[in-house]
């Protein structure tokens, strides 16, 4: 729900090999969406934002191997580990109706199918099999699996997500 023109698209997990490549956890889409970009912005854990040209992006299982200019050896990229990767929204491909960029989901108000407010979606955990939405309300945290039969609808314009909770997930 960010009004920013920059979209969070991934996070650098670590170096890949010795030639300055980076192993990236993608937050939406696959390598093709990143490889189409001319440049990305890296936000360090300290908050500094810097732009880099994309040389290549390739799928590697559920990760992406990203090569950026001007890096060509591991020592040049070690300081980038943990950085978030952003792209200009206008440079990103359109997603199918049932897919969303993480930055668009963060901040949504989450409700059950019965209309009960669960809270605000504040974080997304990438687990490998499926993402998990972290929803907070009045000091309470609820973890909701991002599964088709759990997430019933997402309305970005209304800032709302409706979910059907699995039995035993939450005692309201």
The pLDDT of 125-138, averaged and rounded, is 84
Q: Do residues 71 and 145 share a domain?
A: no
Strand-pair category, 160-163 with 109-112: parallel
Looking at the fold, whether 64 and 121 belong to one and the same domain comes out as: no
Between CA 87 and CA 168 the distance in angstroms is 39
Residue 157 structural domain: 106-163
Supply the DSSP string of 3-23, one letter for each residue: -SSEEEEEEEEEEETTTTEEE
Per DSSP, helices labelled H in the chain are 31-35, 74-77, 102-105
* Lowest mean pLDDT across 15-19, 150-154, 156-160, 164-168: 164-168
pLDDT band at 92 (very low <50, low <70, confident <90, very high): confident
Q: Is residue 170 part of a domain?
A: no
- Are 13 and 62 part of one and the same domain? yes
Mean pLDDT (whole number) for 47-59: 90
Of 91, 122, 155, the domain-final residue:
91
* pLDDT class of 95 with cuts at 50, 70, 90: confident
Q: What is the CATH number of the domain that holds 84?
A: 2.40.30.60
Question: Is pLDDT larger for residue 83 or for residue 102?
Answer: 83
Last residue of a domain, one of 91, 124, 142: 91
d(CA 160, CA 49): 29
């Amino acid at each position: 729900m960010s009004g920013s023109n920059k979209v969070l698209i991934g996070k650098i997990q670590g170096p890949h090999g010795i030639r300055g490549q980076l192993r990236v956890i993608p937050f939406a889409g696959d390598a093709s969406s990143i490889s189409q970009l001319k440049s990305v912005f890296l936000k360090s854990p300290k908050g500094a934002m810097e732009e880099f040209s994309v040389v290549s992006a390739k799928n590697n299982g559920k990760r992406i191997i990203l090569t950026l200019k001007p890096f060509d050896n591991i020592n040049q990229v070690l300081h980038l580990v943990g950085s978030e990767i952003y792209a200009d929204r206008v440079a990103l491909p359109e997603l199918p109706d049932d897919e969303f960029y993480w930055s668009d989901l963060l901040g949504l108000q989450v409700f059950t199918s019965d209309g009960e407010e669960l809270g605000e979606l504040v974080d997304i955990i990438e687990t490998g099999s499926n993402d998990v939405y972290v929803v907070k309300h009045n000091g309470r945290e609820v973890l909701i699996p991002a599964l088709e039969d759990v997430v019933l609808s997402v309305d970005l314009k209304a800032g709302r997500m409706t979910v059907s909770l699995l039995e035993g997930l939450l005692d309201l």
